[in-house]
Structure 1
Amino acid sequence: MWSRLVLRYSACCTLYDCVLDGQGAGENTYALIEAAVSAAVGVKSPHTIHKRASSFWAFVRWVDVHDPQSAEKLHEVQVWNFVQFLKASEAPASKASSVISSFRFAHFVLGFKVTSIIESKRICGAAEQQLVKVRKLRQALDLRVSQILELHARLESGALHCFDRALLASILIRLYARARPSDFLFIETVEVDCPADSDYPLLVFEVSEHKGARKVQLKNKLLPILVPMIGVHGKCWINEALSAFKDAGRALPAVRGPLTLAPRDASGTAPSARSVTSAEVGRALRAFLGEPEEIIDSSVPRVTAYSLRGTCLGWGSKFGFDEDLKSILGRHASSVKTTQAIYSRELAAAPVRKLQDLIREIVAGRFMPDSSRSSYFPKMPSAKEAGKAIACSDSSAPGTGAVKIEVLSSDESGSEPGDSPDSESSGSTSSSSSSSVEATAQPIVRRWKRAKVGLSRDTLRAFAAHGIDTLSKLAYSCGQPGAPLPQSDFDDFIATVIPAALLGEKGSVKRLIFESQALLLTDLREQVTQPDKWATKNVPTVERQKRMEAVKASIPGVLVEGSLEPSHGLLNAACRMEREGQLRYIAPEQCGTRMYEIQNVKAQSKVLSLEEGKLAISEEKDLPEVTCGSALLLQEALKRRGIALQFAGVASFLAHEKYVLKLFGHMGREPPPGHARTSVHQLLTADRQVWTKLIEDEVSPRRSPAGTYPVDDALLPALQSYDVTVALLPRESSKDSKKRFAPTKKHQNEREQKVGKGDGGKGSGKGKGKRPTWQPSVPEAIRKLGGSAQTPDKKRICFSRNLPCGCTLDPCPKGLHPQIMASRSVHSAKSDIRAALRMCIW
């Protein structure tokens, strides 16, 4: 289509000129044009190329009817008349804008000389006016869980035609793969990674192209498509998918190219060479679900092929997945822009596991995506005794929905160093630990060592099913902390949670309950008796490692190592703010690195104080200070503080980074004349004033019930306040009070006459041959005539005697009066004065 347009408007196309310049004798011109157009469009989407050509041909057909005399020319008046015709004929609102887009495509890609058209103010304005009338965006309707269950049931029934069954299997693959209709057109390899006892069976597709890769660089960085194979019916359906493709004459692991091929004829026994289109997939999906094909109301969303892509991503938004996680699940082009994404071969593995956990929550009934916004997470029924205890613990700490507990055995790979039940317990019992971890990600994923705890995988899953996800909840779920555990209460608890538990399993549960109650009581006692010590206690090692791993996963592209790795003291100080519920200012000088903290270990000073009539010895835990004299050092220190704030759950790193960029933006502004740029000292002052304002406004350092950080919302407004803005204004340049002037000619001779050391400028000892400390100055009139201030025998001369002012003193204290025979009239003439001076001046 574009080749014929280039040939038709050859007079205003630079691509045609290039073809003519390189055309040889006997070569077909149209074939050369086709080759040139194919090379010019590069790797752009075929759909985009065809769409732009169709819009251009709509304009050409109108020109052939209404302006046939200028059918081979392109000018601004022609397009303006066409836009007015669209407005008068009430054409679709986006048609004029589509034609303008096709002209831009022709200009920038194929070299059409249509600059006057695409830069015309009236054409662009009229197209925008018509575009305002376009209808509201109607997105594809997400599938309901009941509809997906129906699709699984039809696949398992085996009553469908072999082609229909293979098409249904491909639809379910597209659903769980979050795939566009065009994502499975260029399959290179298929891997079935579904072991028998795997909790996360996967179907892995390697593709060579997808719609989001518009550039060659992005086409080389495609993430593999990972499909979780446990559906909403709670079973792995890989065998049904393999048998469906096998019955249709294709082996799923051997598929190359399109995932689903259209049938060759109505019998559907043999596939053709083309893939099924997006419209055909949508019609088949509506047929499987029993949805009507007729469009009754065009404004109402309907089920289409794009519903398969949006369903799981919509579930993730409702469940609380962050933007980075959804970007990786959706395989957006932004997810492969960082170095970490390019060199990480398994970037999509963890997000797909979280999607599989989400599907398990749907199976268990703890997450209902088809309900209203307030009913996504229904309240789970519980037994009489355990239910009362869980409700009591939930009332003290707000819940965050269902929690998935992931269990690792001792011989499983991927175990983290230092991961022990004791350290995990100490982190779980403190209120700051639970709130901070909850602020990092939802749902919480806890890893317990089954071999060390002595519990089976089924027991821990039973705890999670009853909402027991922390040791503090377990402590109140059975018995009363601080009191002996009655055997009857323990038996009722076991019968409710794990009725089939063996004797050894019961003993492990009883031990875990005892340890949880002991740790809880110790923590509560410390809060009451030693609140200062409790508030300033350090984060446990294992908990710090877990939190830091979560922070690194939440900020892809930022390498938290070296100069960006915050010190443990900084992390503890940030956690103290969240634990106490009170903001504190952490100066950039206190935001040291972990390496600096290791290399500069100092003995902690001890302070003797009087508390409640008793002497107490406490340790001062001051943060080591680092230098922030340059802009680079200050920026690195602020980045470390942002990482520590996200680690503690006080603020997000992204919001703090926006604040830092806004703050450093003042240094890049051009100052007014006579003023200096904003200095590093001003940035430090402004940062201190920003946090002072946050503290004065009593901004909470804890996460709100809505899941947002109050500090995130208050940082930029505080930076834009009047007091902070004044501190960042460029200041007047400092000027020297004493200015240096160039020496005048009358002093030049004196400066050039330097006195050497002793005779001949050579010294003969200490203090010998030094120049005199005082030399009399000679008036200008006498100096110009070559006179000196002394006689040959080193006697001074009175200059006033030989000048017009005269001197009548005799004897004169100023010096000798040389005798000259000249009257006052002699001094009236310049020549006479000069003659007289020659007579009496040496």
Structure 2
Amino acid sequence: MFFMSIFLFWFLHFQPRAMSSVVDSEAHFDLRLSELGLSDPFINALKNGGIRTLSHLAFSIGQPNQVLSNDDVTNFLQGLLGRAPSLVESSSTKRLTFEAQTYVVATLRQGLEQQDEAVPRRVAHAERTTRMSALQLALSGVSISGELDPAHILLDKATAMYEQNIVKYIEPSACISRAFEVQGKKESRELSLEKGSLVLKAGSEKLTSPTDTELKVHYAMQRRALAFQFANLMSYAQHNEWFSFLVDALHREAPPGFQRPSLAQLLQCDRAAWTRLASSLSTIRQRADGTYPLGEAPLNLRADPNIVLYLSPVAKLISVSSESSSWRAQPYGSQKGSERGIEKGKTKGKGKGKSSAPSMPAELRGKWYKNAQGEPLCFGYNTAAGCQHSKTVQDGERCPKGWHLCCEPRCQGPHPLSKHGKSGQ
């Protein structure tokens, strides 16, 4: 027991603080003191004595797994207050100390056990409210509401990055808003492997935000910027500067014979940059002088040829004749396209009106089989069977069969046909 107490003391006082946790949150400690009905002079006396969080209180009186005596509590408070404590003050302090020691043991156990990275630890309510108020004060020109109000799960993910001091890529589609989180969250049951045995535990469906238009990507990136400053990973301005670099490539004039990069290329560039940061940064926590290593690193990649390559203009597809270009504007299998082909066959000569369209699955008849650049779309990705490369190829990327884009005419979004028109797709 003695060595366990020594280890707990070392863990709390000499390890990097996870300021979002309950034991280290000053906001949560203040909330508990007010909920217990303690007076302001009493609270000020605790803070003047250096007791500002539950972790401070846990070792100020006794130690975890040890019964607190009334004499220990009375002597502790008398030293802080300079007088004998009242019965309410003594009992409330004893209760709060028990809570603090219980939280400390639970936090240590949680840190030692392997946790599911897909479900980050939640930021305490009081801590989250305090940080968001400070963030709104710092960004007075930004209204953090509606589409710009980041979801709680997004704030938890960003804070988990800071606590673990590891770079993890949070894709724009995962940067959902708080309103979408409240409306779309569905509880489910799933099997999980814990300590060599299968356990049925409560889970939730992963919510994703559509990123098929530039405006939707803009909102998602803004929410990610707010979440990163909330977690002290980078400033809001630094993230916006990185996003501006990506967007500028979409609107830059392309050379003759080339076309501007697509939105899918922008998302691929963002992913590639964060993959590079994961291998190059040893720490992502805010420095003592207030600067952000993670905020500076992406800006340094703007001149990296391996990253800029993703935003390079794409060569235009050269059409052989006006017939093929006019035919490509029609969906495969449409009656209008078939009639046009027959008419051209009659007027232009034998074989002129025949199309070179590939054979498509029955469920994709009437849909497009090429993108705007004339490159093939993956049929399996848009069918119910799915593509065999879906585990390694993301939405909007290309597999050996073609691009993972929606084959619905005039859509071409980074989602399968089954999700077209759902949740803003």
Normalising by the smaller structure, the TM-score range is 0.5 to 0.7
Could you say if the C-alpha distance between residues 488 and 502 of structure 1 is closer, same or farther in structure 2, counting changes exceeding 3 Å?
A: closer
- 1:448 pairs with 19, 26, 31, which one? 31
Structure 1 residue matching 2:191: 3-state secondary structure? strand
1:104 equivalent in structure 2:
none
Aligned counterparts, 1:289-438, within 5 A: 394-397=13-16, 427-429=21-23, 434=25
The code of the aligned residue for 2:67 comes to P
Aligned counterparts, 1:127-526, within 5 A: 394-397=13-16, 427-429=21-23, 434=25, 447-448=30-31, 452-504=35-87, 505-526=89-110
The code of the aligned residue for 1:466 comes to G
1:512 Cα deviation from its structure 2 partner:
1.8
1:545 equivalent in structure 2:
129
Structure 2 residue matching 1:477: 3-state secondary structure? coil
The code of the aligned residue for 2:22 comes to S
Q: Which has the higher contact order (CA 8 A, sep 6+)?
A: 2
Structure 2 residue matching 1:495: 3-state secondary structure? helix
Could you say if the C-alpha distance between residues 495 and 399 of structure 1 is closer, same or farther in structure 2, counting changes exceeding 3 Å?
A: farther
2:301 equivalent in structure 1:
718
Q: Deviations over 1:396-452 (max 9, x none)?
A: 45799xxxxxxxxxxxxxxxxxxxxxxxxx94316xxx4xx8xxxxxx897436553
1:686 Cα deviation from its structure 2 partner:
0.8
1:607 equivalent in structure 2:
191
Could you say if the C-alpha distance between residues 496 and 707 of structure 1 is closer, same or farther in structure 2, counting changes exceeding 3 Å?
A: farther
Q: Deviations over 1:470-509 (max 9, x none)?
A: 1111111121112122445434322321221432222222
**8 Å contact from structure 1 (residues 474, 516) kept in 2:** yes
The code of the aligned residue for 2:116 comes to D
The code of the aligned residue for 1:574 comes to A
Could you say if the C-alpha distance between residues 701 and 501 of structure 1 is closer, same or farther in structure 2, counting changes exceeding 3 Å?
A: farther
CA distance in 1, matches of 2:78, 2:29: 24
Unaligned 5+ segments in structure 2 are 1-7, 325-342, 350-425
**8 Å contact from structure 1 (residues 570, 623) kept in 2:** no
The code of the aligned residue for 2:134 comes to A
2:158 equivalent in structure 1:
574
The code of the aligned residue for 2:40 comes to R
CA distance in 2, matches of 1:725, 1:719: 7
1:393 Cα deviation from its structure 2 partner:
5.0
CA distance in 1, matches of 2:11, 2:319: 73
2:229 equivalent in structure 1:
646
CA distance in 2, matches of 1:613, 1:578: 30
1:576 Cα deviation from its structure 2 partner:
2.3
Structure 1-normalised TM-score?
Answer: 0.35
Q: Does 1:596 align with 2:180?
A: yes
1:718 Cα deviation from its structure 2 partner:
2.4
2:214 equivalent in structure 1:
631
Structure 2 residue matching 1:557: 3-state secondary structure? coil
**8 Å contact from structure 1 (residues 699, 710) kept in 2:** no
Could you say if the C-alpha distance between residues 544 and 502 of structure 1 is closer, same or farther in structure 2, counting changes exceeding 3 Å?
A: same
Could you say if the C-alpha distance between residues 605 and 727 of structure 1 is closer, same or farther in structure 2, counting changes exceeding 3 Å?
A: farther
The code of the aligned residue for 2:175 comes to C
**8 Å contact from structure 1 (residues 701, 710) kept in 2:** yes
Could you say if the C-alpha distance between residues 390 and 473 of structure 1 is closer, same or farther in structure 2, counting changes exceeding 3 Å?
A: farther
- 1:532 pairs with 116, 122, 126, which one? 116
- 2:315 pairs with 732, 753, 766, which one? 732
The code of the aligned residue for 2:273 comes to V
CA distance in 2, matches of 1:449, 1:701: 31
Could you say if the C-alpha distance between residues 734 and 533 of structure 1 is closer, same or farther in structure 2, counting changes exceeding 3 Å?
A: closer
CA distance in 2, matches of 1:395, 1:613: 33
CA distance in 1, matches of 2:127, 2:233: 17
CA distance in 2, matches of 1:390, 1:528: 15
The code of the aligned residue for 2:162 comes to E
Structure 2 residue matching 1:604: 3-state secondary structure? strand
Could you say if the C-alpha distance between residues 705 and 476 of structure 1 is closer, same or farther in structure 2, counting changes exceeding 3 Å?
A: farther
1:529 Cα deviation from its structure 2 partner:
4.0
The aligned length equals 321
Structure 2 residue matching 1:518: 3-state secondary structure? helix
1:712 Cα deviation from its structure 2 partner:
0.9
2:290 equivalent in structure 1:
707
CA distance in 2, matches of 1:774, 1:549: 72
1:629 Cα deviation from its structure 2 partner:
1.6
The code of the aligned residue for 1:587 comes to E
**8 Å contact from structure 2 (residues 232, 285) kept in 1:** yes
Q: Deviations over 1:728-774 (max 9, x none)?
A: 12222222233449xxxxxxxxxxxxxxxxxxxxxxxxxxxxx9x99
Structure 2-normalised TM-score?
Answer: 0.67
1:626 Cα deviation from its structure 2 partner:
1.8
Q: Deviations over 1:239-294 (max 9, x none)?
A: xxxxxxxxxxxxxxxxxxxxxxxxxxxxxxxxxxxxxxxxxxxxxxxxxxxxxxxx
CA distance in 2, matches of 1:544, 1:394: 23
1:673 equivalent in structure 2:
256
- 2:241 pairs with 658, 661, 667, which one? 658
CA distance in 2, matches of 1:456, 1:493: 17
Could you say if the C-alpha distance between residues 491 and 540 of structure 1 is closer, same or farther in structure 2, counting changes exceeding 3 Å?
A: closer
Could you say if the C-alpha distance between residues 730 and 605 of structure 1 is closer, same or farther in structure 2, counting changes exceeding 3 Å?
A: farther
Worse-matched range after superposition: 476-485 or 596-605: 596-605
Structure 2 residue matching 1:531: 3-state secondary structure? coil
Could you say if the C-alpha distance between residues 617 and 533 of structure 1 is closer, same or farther in structure 2, counting changes exceeding 3 Å?
A: farther
CA distance in 2, matches of 1:525, 1:469: 23
Structure 1 residue matching 2:315: 3-state secondary structure? coil
CA-atom RMSD in angstroms: 3.3
Instruction: Select the structure of larger CA radius of gyration.
Output: 1
**8 Å contact from structure 2 (residues 77, 85) kept in 1:** no
Structure 1 residue matching 2:252: 3-state secondary structure? coil
The code of the aligned residue for 1:429 comes to V
1:314 equivalent in structure 2:
none
Could you say if the C-alpha distance between residues 724 and 604 of structure 1 is closer, same or farther in structure 2, counting changes exceeding 3 Å?
A: farther
CA distance in 2, matches of 1:474, 1:446: 10
1:519 Cα deviation from its structure 2 partner:
2.0
Structure 2 residue matching 1:428: 3-state secondary structure? coil
1:612 Cα deviation from its structure 2 partner:
3.4
Could you say if the C-alpha distance between residues 497 and 567 of structure 1 is closer, same or farther in structure 2, counting changes exceeding 3 Å?
A: same
1:708 Cα deviation from its structure 2 partner:
2.7
CA distance in 2, matches of 1:674, 1:721: 25
Give runs of ≥4 in structure 1 deviating > 6 Å. 389-392
1:627 Cα deviation from its structure 2 partner:
1.5
CA distance in 2, matches of 1:659, 1:595: 26
2:167 equivalent in structure 1:
583
- 2:144 pairs with 539, 560, 571, which one? 560
Could you say if the C-alpha distance between residues 450 and 577 of structure 1 is closer, same or farther in structure 2, counting changes exceeding 3 Å?
A: closer
Could you say if the C-alpha distance between residues 737 and 447 of structure 1 is closer, same or farther in structure 2, counting changes exceeding 3 Å?
A: farther
CA distance in 2, matches of 1:573, 1:451: 29
1:556 Cα deviation from its structure 2 partner:
1.1
Could you say if the C-alpha distance between residues 533 and 582 of structure 1 is closer, same or farther in structure 2, counting changes exceeding 3 Å?
A: closer
2:267 equivalent in structure 1:
684
1:674 Cα deviation from its structure 2 partner:
1.8
CA distance in 2, matches of 1:493, 1:569: 40
Structure 2 residue matching 1:532: 3-state secondary structure? coil
